[in-house]
Amino acid sequence: MRPKLEMEPVTFEDVAVNFTSGEWTMLDSSQKKLYRDVMKETFLNLISIEKTQEENFEEDYQNLR
């Protein structure tokens, strides 16, 4: 069985970077693309972590039986 680590839940809002409309207009197209790419990768990483945790919970439950 895996050791239990105490972790606080993380949401996308916890790790997202947000620009004001004024800041956004100052970015050029390559900076906007980089922002979108980074936010997409961050979102996919959080989904991956969530799925891994669900799999671990399921495995732990099965081990209790």
Does residue 9 lie within any of the structural domains? no
pLDDT higher than 70, residue 8: yes
Does residue 51 lie within any of the structural domains? yes
Amino acid in the structure at residue 33: K
**Is the CB of residue 15 less than 8 Å from the CB of residue 42?**
yes
Does residue 2 lie within any of the structural domains? no
Measuring CA to CA, which residue among 17, 58, 65 is closest to residue 40? 17
User: What was the pLDDT predicted at 40?
Assistant: 94
Does residue 5 lie within any of the structural domains? no
Distance CA 65, CA 60 (A): 9
Per the structure, how many domains does the chain have?
Answer: 1
- Is pTM beyond 0.75? Reply is no
Q: Percent of the chain, pLDDT > 70?
A: 72
Domain that holds residue 51: 40-65
Give me the residue label for tokens 């606080």: 8
Distance CA 34, CA 12 (A): 17
Tell me: the pLDDT tens digits for 15-45? 999 999 999 999 999 999 999 999 999 999 9
pLDDT band at 61 (very low <50, low <70, confident <90, very high): low
Supply φ then ψ for residue 46, to 5 degrees. -65, -40
